[in-house]
Structure 1
Amino acid sequence: MTFDPATLTFDQNGLIPCIAQEAETGEVLMLAWMNAEAVARTLETGRVTYWSRSRQAFWIKGESSGHVQTLVELRLDCDRDCLLALVQQTGPACHTNRRSCFYTALRDGQETEIMTPLRDA
Structure 2
Amino acid sequence: MTHDELENGSVLNLDFTKLRKVANCDADVLPAIAQDAKTGEVLIVGYANQLALDTALECGMATFWSTSRNELWIKGKTSGDYLKIEEIRVNCEQNSILYKVTPAGKGACHTKNKDGVARSGCYYRRITGEGALEFTDPAQV
Does 2:94 match 1:80?
Answer: yes
Give 1:104 deviation, angstroms. Answer: 1.2
Q: Any gaps of 5 or more consecutive residues in structure 1?
A: 1-10
Gaps of 5+ in 2: 1-22, 112-117
Normalized per residue, the structure richer in helix is 2
85-94 vs 103-112, greater mean Cα deviation: 103-112
Equivalence map 1:16-95=2 (5 Å): 16-90=30-104, 91-95=106-110
Q: How many Å separate the matches in 1 of 2:86 and 2:74?
A: 15
Displacement after TM superposition at 1:53 (Å): 1.1
Partner secondary structure for residue 72 of structure 1:
strand
- Secondary structure of the equivalent of 1:33? strand
1:70 Cα deviation after fit:
0.6
| Correspondence for 2:135 among 100, 113, 117 | 113
Of Structure 1 and Structure 2, the greater strand share is in 1
Equivalence for 1:104: 125
Secondary structure of the 2:44 match is strand
Root mean square deviation of aligned Cα: 1.7
SS in 1 for 2:57: helix
Residue 6 (structure 1) aligns with: none
CA distance in 2, matches of 1:55, 1:108: 35
User: SS of the counterpart of 1:102?
Assistant: coil
User: With structure 2 as the length reference, what TM-score do the two structures score?
Assistant: 0.71
2:6 corresponds in structure 1 to none
**Number of residue pairs aligned between Structure 1 and Structure 2:** 108
Query: Following TM superposition, by how much is the alpha carbon of 1:107 offset from its aligned partner in structure 2, in angstroms?
Result: 2.3
